[in-house]
Amino acid sequence: MSGKEGAVKNVERRRNLQKTNPHVVESKDGEGGEATRASAGSVSSDSTKPCTQEDLIAVSNKITDKIVAVLDMKITEVSNKLDTINAKLDAESLRLDAAEQRIAVTEESVEELETRLANAEKKLALMAGRLDDQEARGRRDNLRIYGVKEGFEKGNALSFFETWLPKLLNFDAPKGRLVLDRCHRTGGAGHFGSDTPRPVIMKLHYPADKMRVLSLCAGRKLTWEGATITIRQDFPQNIVQQRRAFNTVCQKLIAKNIRFRMKYPAILAFSLNKKEYSFDSAAAAGAIVDTMEQEASCE
């Protein structure tokens, strides 16, 4: 074989090799080409080496470590926030306990004060009742006279009314006069000839004279020089109000021709069908009278 033919074959062999393995670098001589082909073959085999189980485990461990690190960070943040919330809840719980204790103490104090107030009210009512009783006892011999014109007594009420009462009621009195301890008009100075004269209050020296005057006044219409005269027993104002509360009931009893009497201080008493009734409450008395009216209407 000549040298020319050998060169041609080498060229063709290189071309075929390049087609099958492009990593082969041409060289001027065949040995270089063979070395180049050997190097290229080792590189190709290294780049296509398959992954082993150890490689997969290593990669998995790396990913797991990163995930765990992120989760640890998040859990730490959440834990810190929960600790803060727990601390606040503990503080609020302490405040709530303190508030409940103060409320409990306050409730006990209120209950004690309510008890003391109730006792004080009872004592006050008892004292007020005793005071009213003392005032009424101080007035038990007093009389109030309504309708006497202003100035009629001519400046000396005591001596005038001592002789005026027996004349008004037409009864004999020792020496023509009643013994009065005091006598005066109520309120401030009045006007002579006024259409609404002030009442006259007098204290009789003898209780028997007071009872006699009241009995003579009962059921009578008294007049003096054209003026209507009314004589009442003098009571404290609250007792007067209590007695006035029975006015409606008394009117119903009068309409039924039922006799009644008012006991001290404000007790309505009457008898019906041989049964005695006594009331210190106008409402209770009114209920009984209404019941009697209903029974009468049914009959």
In the chain (299 residues long), the average pLDDT of successive 10-residue segments reads 56 61 46 45 52 85 92 93 93 94 94 95 92 87 92 90 93 90 82 74 94 89 91 89 92 89 88 86 89 69
Whether residues 227 and 241 fall in one domain: no
Whether residues 161 and 184 fall in one domain: yes
Whether residues 56 and 130 fall in one domain: yes
Q: Quick one: DSSP state of residue 23?
A: T
φ, ψ for residue 225, nearest 5 deg: 50, 45
Euclidean distance between CA atoms 116 and 123, whole angstroms: 10
Whether residues 63 and 130 fall in one domain: yes
Q: Which CATH number belongs to the domain containing residue 202 in this structure?
A: 3.30.70.1820
Which residues make Cβ contacts (< 8 Å) with residue 191, sequence separation at least 6? 150
Q: What is the pTM of this model?
A: 0.54
Query: What pLDDT was estimated at residue 16?
Result: 62
Whether residues 212 and 148 fall in one domain: yes
If we measure between CA atoms, which residue out of 141, 147, 119 comes closest to residue 208?
141
Q: How many domains does the chain have?
A: 4
If we measure between CA atoms, which residue out of 197, 112, 107 comes closest to residue 152?
197
Euclidean distance between CA atoms 170 and 241, whole angstroms: 32
Q: Which CATH number belongs to the domain containing residue 272 in this structure?
A: 3.30.250.20
Whether residues 198 and 120 fall in one domain: no
Q: What is the pLDDT of residues 238-256, one digit of tens each?
A: 888 999 999 999 998 998 8
Paired tokens of 107: 């409730």
Cβ atoms of residues 139 and 152 within 8 Å: no
Q: What is the pLDDT of residues 89-132, one digit of tens each?
A: 999 999 999 999 999 999 999 999 999 999 999 999 999 888 88
Domain of residue 22 covers 3-47
Whether residues 147 and 134 fall in one domain: no
Paired tokens of 234: 């003098």
Whether residues 160 and 183 fall in one domain: yes
Cβ atoms of residues 18 and 24 within 8 Å: yes
Three-class secondary structure of residue 222 per DSSP: strand
Of 124, 139, 154, which residue sits at a domain end? 139
Spatial strand order in the sheet of 142-146: 180-185, 200-204, 142-146, 227-233, 222-224
Query: What pLDDT was estimated at residue 133?
Result: 85
Whether residues 182 and 224 fall in one domain: yes
Query: What pLDDT was estimated at residue 78?
Result: 93
Which residues make Cβ contacts (< 8 Å) with residue 299, sequence separation at least 6? none
Of 139, 173, 198, which residue sits at a domain end? 139
Cβ atoms of residues 206 and 243 within 8 Å: no
Of 234, 257, 276, which residue sits at a domain end? 234
Whether residues 192 and 242 fall in one domain: no
Cβ atoms of residues 233 and 145 within 8 Å: no
